[in-house]
Amino acid sequence: MLGILSQLFHQLVTIVEKVGPVEVVDVLLVAFIMYQLLRLVRGTQAIQLIVGLVVLVMVGVAASALNLILLKWLFQNAAPFIVIAIIVLFQPELRRILDQVGRLGHLGRPLAAFGVTEQLRSRSIAEVIRAVERLSARRTGALIAFEREVGLEDYAATGVRINGEVSSEFLQSLFFPNSPLHDGAVIIRGNQILAAGCLLPLPEEGTVRERLGTRHRAAIGLSLASDALIVVVSEETGRISVVENGAITRNLDADGLRRRLMGSIEPVKPTNGRTRRLALLPWFNK
């Protein structure tokens, strides 16, 4: 027993002596990537899929170690199909990973959003708040999505193109119960209404564990597929909610909605005098 422990100790010392700065950086990068992958799949159905894949890998290793010819042949020939199955099963997570990579810097930001001054953005937010207040008072349902780093052009294509300036009266008319566009979502880019009557993606089954209306579910679906901030007015209660990163902040009044929109969308000026966009940190309020 002591001989085995001594041999293992000497092997460990040999490995440590061969480790250099490059190997340390390599291990840290792999650990960081694995950590980010686990963060992306945390709380989703992908956890169960990963456990199932780990079990299959363990069975394959055991079959190879015990020289179980038939089982080993089965795993070797099924490997290509397993890779394809992984791509299909983890399609939402893979899309989310690529989306996170594409958000580095401002490369993915729509060009039309550049050049919007702080004054125009503040005015647009004020118009949205005024419209949402009146829609809430009349218990008129509404769904308004603010485009940020990730473009929403695909979803805008499902509705009617507007490209009009944001105004309270315009938004109220779009969500008027007899309007043909009142059931869809309005997408706002910068200080313009990009499109109205848009169809938003619904979240996967099991993602949302509470009973929600179609508007709230669509808002969660879009917030999981992009970094958009979505304002929802309930048609039943008139209550105002904000959805971001799959989390809902409920029962907001005008002041709460203003703070939320100003903090997440409006640019700020740092002390050096140059205007920069406020970092969009995730909100996890529930």
- What's the confidence (pLDDT) of residue 160? 92
- What's the confidence (pLDDT) of residue 245? 84
pLDDT band of residue 137 (cuts 50, 70, 90) is: very high
- Phi and psi at 6, nearest 5°, equal -65, -40
Q: What is the mean pLDDT of residues 191-216?
A: 81
Give the integer Cα–Cα distance in Å for 89 and 51.
Answer: 13
Question: Domains, the chain, ranges and CATH?
Answer: 2-102 (no CATH), 112-264 (3.40.1700.10)
- Looking at residue 176, the DSSP 8-state letter turns out to be -
Q: Which residues contact 173 (CB under 8 A, 6 or more apart)?
A: 179
Q: Are 145 and 230 in contact (CB under 8 A)?
A: yes
What single string gives the DSSP state of each residue in 193-261? EEEEEE--PPPPTTT--S---HHHHHHHHHHHHSS-EEEEE-TTT--EEEEETTEEE-S--HHHHHHHH
On average, the pLDDT of the chain sits at 77
Asked which of 78-82, 134-138, 211-215, 257-261 is least confident by mean pLDDT, the reply is 78-82
Instruction: For residue 46, count other CB atoms closer than 10 A to its CB.
Output: 17
Give the integer Cα–Cα distance in Å for 250 and 231.
Answer: 10
pLDDT(88) > 70: yes
pLDDT(118) > 60: yes
Residues forming beta bridges with residue 143, ordered by sequence position: 232
Q: What is the mean pLDDT of residues 150-169?
A: 88
Q: Are 229 and 265 in contact (CB under 8 A)?
A: yes
Give the integer Cα–Cα distance in Å for 215 and 147.
Answer: 17
Is this structure's pTM higher than 0.95? no
Asked which of 34-48, 113-127, 201-215 is least confident by mean pLDDT, the reply is 34-48
Residue type, 283: W
Q: Which residues contact 223 (CB under 8 A, 6 or more apart)?
A: 229, 230, 243, 244, 245, 246, 247
Q: Tens of pLDDT along 64-82?
A: 888 888 888 887 787 788 7
